[in-house]
Amino acid sequence: MNRRRFARIAGSAMVAAGIGYPLARGFRGSTSAGSLLVSDPPLPPPFQIDLPIPQVLQPMRQDHDIDYYEIVQKVAKAAILPGVDTEIWGYNGTFPGPTIVTQRGRKAVIRHTNRLPVPTVVHLHGGRNLPADDGFPIDFVYPKGSTPESVSGFEHDMTTGNTSFGIRDYVYTLDQPAATLWYHDHRMDFTGPSIWKGLAGFHLHHDAIEKALGLPAGNRDLPLMITDRSFATDGSFHYPSLDQSLHTLPGVDQRYMAGVLGDVILVNGAPWPIAHVSGNLYRLRLLNASNARRYRLALDPPPSSGNGLVQIGSDGGLLPAPIPHDAIDIAPAERFDVIVDFSRYPAGSKVTLINEFGTGSTSKVMQFAIGTREPETAKVPKTLADVPTLTRGDAVTTRTLQFRQGDVGKMRGWTINGEPFSPDHVHATVQGGTTEIWRLMGDFHHPIHIHLNPFQVLSRGLNGPGAFDRGWKDTIDLRPAEQAEIIIPFAKMPGKYVFHCHTLEHEDMAMMANFVVK
């Protein structure tokens, strides 16, 4: 019925299996929380497969201000490694799922049909939506064919939530600035394995301000979903779920409780792909959709005068002005929109997107093969979008939230202010239309994500925001033993929402909590 049940089942399984509490990795000095899950087969050579670009989903119908889409969640086969198929769970059977493209001023209604063997929940990450459409973790869509009378087999997912059977329409008003959003599964206790199996896709939202800027567009606007995975010899994904069927028993083998790290880096579902680009400006929408891995992304070789990655956008949309970087740190769920000027490289050369936090196979991400320069139609504007700077004086209250390892029933898990997630317990009641400061503290790497409202980073330790904290954020890369302050203007959208760690093994093992907007 709820988290207590999780604690009881998982706790007794732990005790029965005699698994103790291992010291999870991820302390200070590490770059990610988690343990490496090694693939069985030899890994393919990098930069052989062309970068796939997910299909843009076409609406089934449109009326004057609404576009209607349909997605079927299903089991499918994908060709990821050479010579073998990988079973995935995909939106429309693909990984990543189809890209949804929307315009501010039009609503989108996405009809999801669940043909998977388990209940699912869809969350539009970065979307400002009312609770019924936000994908609250117990608002399950039970598999097609199930009815309120026949949900047996899903005892773990019996819920008091706002559930549906087979089909659910998610209504997105999308009255928010242009941004790189993404959608993914959010089923309580099982988000990690569901996303690992493939339930994630891009949602690119546009507006008139962005359009007027003349940024690179069309095939020079590349969404890049970066994930790490681990494979068995038959091509299937490895993931250390205690219950491989994801039916009853949540959680992972305790050796991986700090996070599951794969040794194969996929971009848009392909291992270390290569993209053929012209010597022009490109917009790269970097999304870290990995369960636990953090990356430090850089171009190798860097362009002659450095600053190869010019950031124009953050999680919640465009920055006030571009920020040049040599490297970008990206934690799970974060997005960085960057412009790369490939005319700074000679035609015929190759430049690799590397991960300076990685070693061996995880130190490379993908490659760009540079072709000749074509007429340039885009530019990097000096200023981008209006982003008001929030200050302490705007806030009516300050709350302190601790993100730490702790007891979840009889097992070790992850807690917020000492509490494991319960769908009913409310940590914070906020007044819509007011602004609050939340002071976040953690023991490990915890990328903290708050639903509904984008926020700004006020401080890290004794310093101001970090180099990667600018603009509207919805996820902050909280680092071990660090204290950070964020300032959040709450929208007048009443109801109950979650905030949680986006290291998915932490989220699934209870590092999630509710806030209510009044």
Does the protein bind Cu ion through residue 351 (CB under 5 A)? Answer: no
Buried/exposed 106-119: b ≥16 CB within 10 Å, e otherwise: bebbbebbbebebb
Does the protein bind ligand C2O through residue 506 (CB under 6 A)? Answer: no
- Which residue shows structure tokens 């604690």? 7
Residue nearest to ligand C2O as judged by C-beta position? 125
> Taking the complex as a whole, how short is the minimal distance between the CB of residue 337 and ligand C2O, in angstroms?
17
Contacts of 388 (CB under 8 A, 6+ apart): none
Around Cβ 52, how many Cβ atoms within 10 Å?
17
Q: Choose one: 80-88, 238-246, 396-404, 494-502; the region binding ligand C2O (CB under 6 A).
A: 494-502
Identify which of residues 104 and 451 has a Cβ nearer to ligand C2O in the complex: 451
Does the protein bind Cu ion through residue 415 (CB under 5 A)? Answer: no
Handedness of CA 503, 507, 510, 515 (dihedral sign): positive
One-letter amino acid for residue 231 of the chain? F
Does the protein bind ligand C2O through residue 500 (CB under 6 A)? Answer: yes
Does the protein bind ligand C2O through residue 104 (CB under 6 A)? Answer: no
DSSP letter assigned to residue 446:
E
The tokens for 333 are: 């769920």
Q: Residue from 141, 501, 509, 512 that binds Cu ion (CB under 5 A)? A: 501
**Residue 500 contacts which entry, Cu ion, ligand C2O, none (Cβ below 5-8 A, type-dependent):** ligand C2O
Q: Residue from 3, 104, 125, 325 that binds ligand C2O (CB under 6 A)? A: 125
Does the protein bind Cu ion through residue 412 (CB under 5 A)? Answer: no
* Residues 107 and 129 sit within 8 Å (Cβ to Cβ): no
Angle at 273 between CA 268 and CA 277, to 5 degrees: 95
* Residues 147 and 194 sit within 8 Å (Cβ to Cβ): no
Q: What is the DSSP string of 170-225?
A: EEE---S--EEEEEEE--TTTHHHHHHTT-EEEEEEE-HHHHHTT---GGGEEEEE
One-letter amino acid for residue 316 of the chain? G
Q: Choose one: 62-70, 167-175, 400-408, 496-504; the region binding ligand C2O (CB under 6 A).
A: 496-504
**Alpha-carbon distance 177 to 421, whole Å?**
31
* Residues 250 and 6 sit within 8 Å (Cβ to Cβ): yes
Around Cβ 355, how many Cβ atoms within 10 Å?
23
**Alpha-carbon distance 150 to 262, whole Å?**
37
> Taking the complex as a whole, how short is the minimal distance between the CB of residue 122 and ligand C2O, in angstroms?
11
Q: Choose one: 195-203, 213-221, 225-233, 497-505; the region binding Cu ion (CB under 5 A).
A: 497-505
**Residue 274 contacts which entry, ligand C2O, Cu ion, none (Cβ below 5-8 A, type-dependent):** none
Identify which of residues 200 and 297 has a Cβ nearer to ligand C2O in the complex: 200
**Residue 449 contacts which entry, Cu ion, ligand C2O, none (Cβ below 5-8 A, type-dependent):** ligand C2O
Q: Residue from 125, 197, 446, 500 that binds Cu ion (CB under 5 A)? A: 446
Identify which of residues 104 and 449 has a Cβ nearer to ligand C2O in the complex: 449
**In 3-state terms, what secondary structure has residue 255?**
helix
> Taking the complex as a whole, how short is the minimal distance between the CB of residue 178 and ligand C2O, in angstroms?
19
Number of residues in contact with ligand C2O under rule CB under 6 A:
10
**Alpha-carbon distance 63 to 361, whole Å?**
48
Q: Residue from 138, 260, 299, 333 that binds ligand C2O (CB under 6 A)? A: 333
Q: Choose one: 42-50, 264-272, 487-495, 498-506; the region binding ligand C2O (CB under 6 A).
A: 498-506
Identify which of residues 275 and 504 has a Cβ nearer to Cu ion in the complex: 504
Footprint (CB under 6 A) of ligand C2O, residues 413-452: 449, 451
**Residue 125 contacts which entry, Cu ion, ligand C2O, none (Cβ below 5-8 A, type-dependent):** ligand C2O
* Residues 315 and 179 sit within 8 Å (Cβ to Cβ): yes
Does the protein bind Cu ion through residue 290 (CB under 5 A)? Answer: no
Angle at 59 between CA 56 and CA 65, to 5 degrees: 120
DSSP letter assigned to residue 238:
P
**Residue 506 contacts which entry, ligand C2O, Cu ion, none (Cβ below 5-8 A, type-dependent):** Cu ion
Does the protein bind ligand C2O through residue 184 (CB under 6 A)? Answer: yes
Does the protein bind Cu ion through residue 335 (CB under 5 A)? Answer: no
* Residues 137 and 507 sit within 8 Å (Cβ to Cβ): no
> Taking the complex as a whole, how short is the minimal distance between the CB of residue 183 and ligand C2O, in angstroms?
9
DSSP letter assigned to residue 143:
P
**Residue 180 contacts which entry, ligand C2O, Cu ion, none (Cβ below 5-8 A, type-dependent):** none
> Taking the complex as a whole, how short is the minimal distance between the CB of residue 503 and Cu ion, in angstroms?
4
**Residue 220 contacts which entry, ligand C2O, Cu ion, none (Cβ below 5-8 A, type-dependent):** none
Q: Residue from 242, 503, 513, 517 that binds Cu ion (CB under 5 A)? A: 503
> Taking the complex as a whole, how short is the minimal distance between the CB of residue 88 and Cu ion, in angstroms?
25
Contacts of 42 (CB under 8 A, 6+ apart): none
**Alpha-carbon distance 188 to 2, whole Å?**
9
Q: Contact positions toward ligand C2O, by CB under 6 A?
A: 123, 125, 184, 186, 333, 449, 451, 498, 500, 502
Chain positions contacting Cu ion, by CB under 5 A: 446, 501, 503, 506
